[in-house]
Amino acid sequence: MSEEAENNEIKLKTVGERLKDERQLQDFDLNKIAEKTRIPKRHILSLEASDFSALPGITYIVGFVKAYARALNLDEVQFASDIREELNEQNIVSRASQMEHYEQVDSATIPPKWLAWSAIGIAAVLLAAFLIWRTAQMDVINYPAEQASNEAPANAPKQKQAVATAPTAEGPVVFTAKGEIWLRIYEKEGERIFEKQMNAGESFTIPATAKEPLLLTGRPDLLTVTIGGKEVAPLGTAERTVSDLPISAKALLARPSEEESAAAVPATAAPTATPPATPAQ
């Protein structure tokens, strides 16, 4: 078989099929690949079958392919490019299929205009009533607070000091998603605690029985972490994957805050210049 014919045969196969063929050629089973890449076995099976609907999202699919190729000592950059091309092609087919099966909306199912305007009017009345009630509540609550501050201004520094109290390692560790994010939380020995594609506002509390919990996610900047209800330093500010990140209360409190990290940069000592060697006489 010529080289051109071999290349054409490879192109006819999907990225998942090529990875599966190479895995079997190198005599790796699914458990070995899952251990080397830290990708769940069910995701590896979905990737090999090109069942992208069962995977978290495009960003994670590309990341899974790169990790898979890297574990097999293949060109991960080329495989990442190939999977993006394959995803784009399937996306075009998906949109065309949706257009072919498009059904025109029955006008009888559309509510009449008077009903829509009535709903808008009711919503406006309810909103106005809520704003009036909220304003009245704020007047009642804020007046005693202002009076108390005038009578005892010396208490203000103590209150600020209480707000600034740092969290302790005794409170529960809670992860809250600020946007759509996939993450996995597992113990150091490999026992999985939690894995999910979280939506904005969803939270998860680390069980008190967890032993040395670790984190894997591609978007650490989309997580807010609190210990005992008090927020700790962010896990990251850029779109980058973190793996085996310790997330126990003790480990999180040991991480430097943003101010400490910024202050440490100018304090780095400059390298000492090495004097040139004296030639031998």
> In this structure, what CATH number is given to the domain that contains residue 57?
1.10.260.40
Please give the span between the terminal C-alpha atoms of the chain, in angstroms, as a whole number: 67
User: Is residue 107, in this structure, part of any structural domain at all?
Assistant: no
State the chain's mean pLDDT as an integer: 78
Domain range holding 196? 173-258
Q: Is the dihedral of CA 41, 238, 256, 163 positive or negative?
A: negative
User: Is residue 164, in this structure, part of any structural domain at all?
Assistant: no
Look at the chain and report how many structural domains it folds into: 2
Which domain-ending residue is among 47, 66, 99?
A: 99
| Distance between CA atoms of residues 94 and 87, nearest Å | 10
Q: What is the pLDDT of residues 220-277, one digit of tens each?
A: 888 899 998 899 888 887 668 888 889 988 888 888 765 555 555 454 444 554 555 4
User: Is residue 152, in this structure, part of any structural domain at all?
Assistant: no
User: Is residue 154, in this structure, part of any structural domain at all?
Assistant: no
pTM of the model: 0.38
Q: What is the pLDDT of residues 49-96, one digit of tens each?
A: 989 989 988 899 999 999 999 999 999 999 999 999 999 987 644 444
Residue 104, pLDDT > 70, answer: no
Nearest to 67 by CA among 25, 26, 37, 32: 37
